[in-house]
Chain A
Amino acid sequence: MSKPTRGFVGRPHAARSNRLPPGQYDTGRDFPTLTAEATPRVDPDRWTMTVDGEVATPHTWTWADVHRLPASEYRGDIHCVTTWSKFDTRFGGISVDLLLEAVTPLPTATHVLATSTTGYTTNLPLEHLAGGKAWLVWTYDGKPLPREHGGPVRLLVPHLYFWKSAKWITKLTLLDHDVEGFWERNGYHNLGDPWLEQRYHGD
């Protein structure tokens, strides 16, 4: 454990919460944005979502196609590696399970590389995208997802640090091995579990 810092008391105990993973603080009503790139303008009419790689039948959906799938909502907390957490968020879209079921992952598929329209990538073990853990979302609090938060559509994997929830998602590629994504190559942890405080490479 770290040595105490002279003179540091920290927030009052009442402001701390067992809903906060270690090292996180409650950002309250703020919803900070953190992106490494220029915010793109993604036209929903030209946007597509592809799931390919180690699958039986790769498939590409249009904006209209994904909206015809049964809706699903996430209500809960999100955690950013830059130490803010936001409680009681509400995102609407579809479960990633629907996309995976449609393409039938091959038994060899173990990992996924998510790619955004900007070229941003992030990698996840397949088991962290399947089984009700991940969504494709296009609303926040019932309204269209703002561009700076990844609108018109982003990946949502709320049990991991938020850089895994790729903004402006356009593709999931199933792989039979792990490939590091953007932040994973740039000093951040490969999995990013906030409860294990897996922030940086080597944590």
Chain B
Amino acid sequence: MATTISAIPGSNSAITVTEPARAPAGGWGYARVREVSYPTARGVRIRVELPGRINHLPGQHYVIRLTAEDGYTAQRSYSVASAPSDPLLEFFIDRLPDGEVSGFLADIVEVGDELELRGPIGGWFVWNGTAPALGIGGGSGVVPLVSMLRHAAGTAAADLLRVAVSARSLDELPYADELAAAGAVIALSRTQSPTGRPAGRLAAAEIASLVRPDQTCLVCGSAGFAEAVTGLLLDAGTPTTAIRVERFGPSG
């Protein structure tokens, strides 16, 4: 756990904020695109080589900045899918309708291109593999959880991490095979899952069966997904303080 916020009682002399070690943070740099693939209908997987990069914690993100010839820039944040030990950085980007940055990454970027990026960033939605965690992701919100699973794979940390994911169909679930192989609970809202689970969103009973008293819950997805899942977690007795949320909005 990277951060603890203690209760802050009434007077300023009583403010006690536990100051943990800062999460790793890196500055701007240029990465070389090494692999581009299109695992889902709307999504692109981009693997880049960033010289001298600072190792991230699973859950952290990078900012990708695009610059036009006239100096105009656009930038968006994307969670890292790769494990810290991976020599390349991997991103999965859902192409949004009219997405200025996601459309460029999905349609234009090719192997050999240079991309300007900055990171790692963020010290809240992270898991360092030392404490029990439950990751719940919707759609491309599974990406940071994939980084966590890859980081834990083959180590004792794998027993500490439980993952549940949700998408409309298997075709729209990034990293579906990898998630299934890692034992993630997979809920498909429109279709039956490969394991025979009937179509439907993550249900209260499914969430409740994954809740443990001592774990941090990491919820990542659209605002609506995050709202629904945090509601189920709270209903299952999870304290508010054990829930960390990464919501993403329509930010092209």
Binding site for B on A (CB under 8 A): 1-11, 16, 22-23, 25, 27, 30, 32-40, 50, 52-54, 58, 82-84, 113, 115, 118-121, 148, 171, 173-175, 179-180, 182-183, 185-187, 200-202
Contact = CB atoms under 8 A, between A and B. Distances in A.
A1 B69 CA distance: 11
B196 interface: no
A3 to B, nearest CB: 7
Interface stretch (B34-42, B73-81, B155-163, B173-181): B73-81
Contact of B71 (A1, A39, A53, A113): A1
A175 B17 CA distance: 14
Contacts of A7: 104, 108-109, 113
17 contacts: A3-B30, A5-B104, A7-B104, A7-B109, A7-B113, A10-B74, A23-B73, A30-B249, A37-B240, A40-B240, A52-B10, A52-B11, A120-B5, A121-B8, A121-B17, A185-B3, A185-B22
A127 to B, nearest CB: 18
Interface residues of B, number: 61
B68 A187 contact: no
Contacts of A175: 12
Contacts of B118: 200
Contact of B252 (A25, A36, A37): A25
Contacts of A6: 108, 113-114
Given A3-B30, A22-B73, A38-B245, A32 B223 contact: yes
Nearest to B12: A53
A81 to B, nearest CB: 9
Contact of A186 (B66, B73, B124, B245): B124
Contacts of B19: 185
